[in-house]
Amino acid sequence: MSPATRVEARPLPAALPAPAPLSWAWVGVVPFFVFALMFLIVPTSFLAVGSFQDPEGRFTLRNLADLFTPSILSSYAISLKVSAASAIGGAVLGFLLAWAAILGGLPRAIRPALLTFSGVASNFAGVPLAFAFLATLGRTGLVTALLVNVFGVNIYRAGFNLLSFWGLALTYMYFQIPLMVLIMAPALDGLRREWREAAANLGASAWEYWRRVALPILWPTLLGTSLLLFANAFGAVATAYALTGSSLNIVTILLYAQIRGDVLHNQNLGYALALGMIVITGLSNAAYIWLRGRSERWLR
């Protein structure tokens, strides 16, 4: 282009931002990162680092070793068992419920109703949930009384107790199942009708379709969400506190007591306890994300 044909351009208005990377954008996100540092990263790191220190601040692995004492180990064991039980129960029942609403041929209105209810129920956890189950399955609860009066069955005499491992798992499922429904519903939507038809066309029965096509496609999501449910239950404390108090010695209750009153008589051991929790929930969530990525790659 010759100089003679170059057009004189007016100077750009000052409102347009400079093209350099050090622009307003960086300033704009600083508060977020400061917040993240102060209230997410630093506190967690502090605990993680502290678990490798002794009271004088020297590096030690003693705290981690001390985690393997019988009482703390049994505490982790109970937590793992309750979380696993409520996760598996929640996963299976949640999957069935999602299947029924989306693929079961039920009236159309059931699906949005179920999803809305799941949205609410997945947030209905903690103290009120414990109260609800106490009022229903406690010693003087509605269902307990109904079973005695109508069917002559006394579940408490038969050995059931809400304030126990199974009672807690049952209560946890009240928010585990909805969470599973909320995550499985879009996944089930992703099962295209043509796959079902193609499978039938090639000779597969309904059972064979599920066995060879649908479940293999869904298993990363199923497994991943189960792990998510597991981590969810592992970190919960309010429901347990309100329901079983300190009678069921899960890790979160132990940690609660430790924070309140240093029951372990060793601050750094408390940090180690927290670190153990983070490792378990962190691994579960990482596995969930990895599995989700895998299934997304197939379904691209």
Partner 1 sequence: MAFLEIDGVQKRFALTTAVEDFRLDVERGEFVSFLGPSGCGKTTTLRMIAGFESPTAGRIRIDGVDVTHRAPNRRNVGMVFQSYALFPNMTVADNVGFGLRVARRPAREIRQRVEEMLALIKLPDLGSRYPYQLSGGQQQRVALARALAIRPQVLLLDEPLSALDAKIRVSLRTEIRGIQRELGITTIYVTHDQEEALSMSDRIVVMSQGRIEQIGTPFEIYNFPRTAFVASFVGTLNILSGRVEDPARGAILVDGQPILAAAGLEGARAGEARLIALRPESVTLDGATADGQNRLAGTVEDVHFLGSVVRIRIRFREHAVWLDTFNNPRLAPPARGEPVTVCFAREAVLVLESPPGG
Partner 2 sequence: MRRASLRAWLVLLLGALYFVVPLVGTFEFSLRYRRGVYSFEAYRIVLADPRFQATFGYSTALALATIVVGVVLVVPTAYWIQLRLPRLRPVVEFITLLPLVIPAIVLVFGYLRIYNSSSWLPLTASEATTDLLLMFSYVALSLPYMYRAVDTGLRAIDVRTLTEAAQSLGAGWRTILLRVIFPGVRVAVLSGAFLTFAIVIGEFTMASLLDRPAFGPYLQLIGANRAYEPAALAVIAFAVTWACMAVIQLMARRAPGQVAGGR
Tell which positions 184-213 bind partner 2, by CB under 8 A: 196, 206
Q: 135 or 202: whose CB is closer to partner 2?
A: 135
d(CA 113, CA 188): 17
Please list the residues that pair with 59 across neighbouring strands.
Answer: 53
Given partner 2, partner 1, none, residue 300, with its beta carbon under 5 to 8 Å by kind, binds partner 1
Among 82, 121, 168, 291, binds partner 2 (CB under 8 A): 121
Decide if residue 215 touches partner 2 (CB under 8 A).
no
Binders in 155-194 for partner 1, by CB under 8 A: 192, 194
d(CA 296, CA 290): 10
Contact 101, 111 (CB under 8 A): yes
Question: Residue 13 contacts by C-beta under 8 Å, 6 or more apart in sequence?
Answer: none
Decide if residue 77 touches partner 1 (CB under 8 A).
no
Helix 127-137 / helix 142-151 crossing angle, nearest 10 deg: 10
Least distance (Å) from partner 1 to the CB of residue 298? 4
d(CA 296, CA 221): 9
d(CA 250, CA 82): 9
Among 46, 208, 279, 282, binds partner 1 (CB under 8 A): 208
Decide if residue 110 touches partner 2 (CB under 8 A).
yes
Among 45, 154, 205, 247, binds partner 1 (CB under 8 A): 205
- Summarize the chain as % helix, strand, coil (round to 5): 70, 0, 30
Binders in 30-69 for partner 1, by CB under 8 A: none
Among 29, 113, 135, 212, binds partner 1 (CB under 8 A): 212
Using CB under 8 A, count the residues that bind partner 2: 87
Among 112, 119, 128, 216, binds partner 1 (CB under 8 A): 216
Please list the residues that pair with 53 across neighbouring strands.
Answer: 59
End-to-end, the C-alpha distance of the chain in Å comes to 46
Q: 178 or 224: whose CB is closer to partner 1?
A: 224
Q: What is the binding site for partner 1 (CB under 8 A)?
A: 192, 194-195, 197-205, 208, 212-213, 216-217, 297-300
